[in-house]
Structure 1
Amino acid sequence: MLRLFIFFLYMGGYLTYSLPALSRIKKLDPSMPVEERDKIIHNVPQKWSRTVMKISGSIVNVSGQEYIPDGPVVMVCNHEGDFDIPALLASIEKPFGFISKVEVKKAPIISSWMKVMNCVFIDRRNRQSAINSLREGAEFLRQGHSLVIFPEGTRSKGGPVAPFKVGGFRLAQDACVPIVPISIKGTADVFEKNGRLIKPARIDIRVCPPVNPKIVKEKDAKLLAHDVREIICSSLPEKRIAS
């Protein structure tokens, strides 16, 4: 209970503290190179995430970052729990935005940070709106930004990795960028498995070799989703594949 209280206290305090930085970022020169701009933006959420992981008492082990190529990529990750995003933000050096449900747009300050990070908000209940959001994400990639997607569409809470939905893969196909498979294990042990209390856990993040953009572009989206899922499942410390 104490860790959860400290987490919410820190989260609220840091978000308020981050407002001046958010204001400065919104005023950055739009002609600044994308890579330089994204690194400046990434710095604040990364600091927040690293402190959050310290508050949780968790140890995050990450391997394979050398596989992440320069330039825009789509990082595809299995989705264990709510701590996936802070664990990735704390550990992955390459700046990225991510796809989120549209309801998060209502969260003050958080949604503003997500917008400057070039996150994509998707309303799954509205097909045309979801298609437009995916097009927006493809345009972010073409501009040089990177995205993380969780194609299971929901948290596994430490259970088997569910089949991947294809929508996010079409982002990479439309923008013709590499896909970087990433497996994550242990985030559900921080929160979801503890009656929604925060407890220390060991988290393993494994970055796998990228899928060449030519293969991404030419392969059928369903087959691409299947193959990337197989890569991720095979890299998990313990295989958890839904039948």
Structure 2
Amino acid sequence: MSILRTIALFAYLFGYMIVHYGVLRRAERALAAGDMDTVEQIVRKHIPHWSQGILNVTGAQLVVEGKENIPQGVPCVFVGNHRSYFDIPLLLVALDAPHGILAKEELEKIPLLNRWMKLLGCVFVKRDDIRASVKALNDATAIVESGRSFVIFPEGTRYKGEEGGAGEFKAGAFRIAIKTGAPVVPVAISGARGLFEGHGNRATPGSIYIRILPPIQTVGMSKAEQKQLPEAVRQTILAEL
């Protein structure tokens, strides 16, 4: 059964993008023309729908708590722990709207998917290249400065340890919030690895819990508080896993 679900998952993942290729082209033309209202309408309609379909095919049961903690009327930086490939579609469904994500460069090489991610406002980072990483962080900062929220997984890679743990939260990601004065919104994700990686990369039904925690204001932070921010957010998330 898991093999059939896995085949169905990848068929749906790319099938949706192929069927809606005309919508993608319309959004890209709107982007080229500077018609951001049309781009946003298409992104808000299709990307969460596509992401929810991934969860439905997999048999995932998603429980989201704490949406009331998302600041209204201001851009924020969502910071989540990273356990699974599913974390991206999960947050595209669970948050108040689909937001751009700091993603690894490999995703930029996947046809069609890379084009939808660019419409979303994703920034791709080459983790082993310091200069490229700095540019990616600057690009993400510019997005938040423009008034749009952004999603970051500060571990930089998927944590492969036991459920309930998390890797080191790197400081670079938090500079986006500190530089722009945007609040940091911690997001705790539990159970995502069991949907795929935990079963030999086979799509498997399961329950996922996402807890959106109270925002942390970065305006007025002292240098000492800024330095402690990554570990403070990590501990806040760990307490919810």
TM over 0.5: yes
Q: Which moved more, 1:216-225 or 1:175-184?
A: 216-225
Instruction: Identify the match of residue 47 of structure 2 among 27, 36, 45.
Output: 45
Pair 219,25 (structure 1): closer, same or farther in 2 beyond 3 Å: farther
Q: Contact 1:38–1:95 (CA<8 Å) still a contact in 2?
A: no
Q: CA deviation at 1:85?
A: 0.9
For 1:86 and 1:6, how far apart are their aligned partners in 2? 16
Q: Which amino acid counterpart does residue 235 of structure 2 have in structure 1?
A: E
RMSD of aligned alpha carbons: 1.8
Task: Calculate the TM-score normalised by the size of structure 1.
Answer: 0.90
Matched, 1:117 2:131: no
Stretches of structure 1 that go unaligned for 5 or more consecutive residues are 237-243
Q: Cα 1:108–1:31, aligned 2, differ >3 Å: closer, same or farther? A: closer
Which of the residues 25, 38, 49 maps onto 1:23?
A: 25
Segments of structure 2 that go 5 or more residues without pairing to the other structure are none
Query: Structure 2 length as normaliser, TM-score?
Result: 0.91
Does structure 1 retain, via aligned residues, the 8 Å contact 2:189–2:209? yes
**Which residues in structure 2 correspond to 1:55-204 (within 5 Å)?**
55-70=57-72, 71-157=74-160, 159=162, 160-204=165-209
Q: 1:14 to 1:110 in 2, by over 3 A?
A: same
CA change 1:170–1:194 in 2 (3 A) is: same
Q: Is the 8 A contact 2:91 2:98 kept in 1?
A: no
Equivalent residue letter for 2:218: P
Q: Tell me by how many angstroms 1:213 deviates.
A: 3.1
Structure 2 distance, partners of 1:216, 1:6, is 48
Aligned residues: 234
Instruction: Detail structure 1 runs of 4+ shifted over 2 Å in the superposition.
Output: 26-33, 36-40, 215-222
Percent same amino acid among aligned pairs? 35
Decide whether aligned partners of structure 1 residues 138 and 219 sit closer, same or farther in structure 2, where only a CA change above 3 A counts: farther
Quick check: 1:80–1:187 contact (8 Å CA) kept in 2? yes
CA contact (8 A) 1:118 1:145 kept: no
Q: Is the 8 A contact 1:122 1:129 kept in 2?
A: yes
Give distance in 1, aligned partners of 2:191 and 2:95: 16
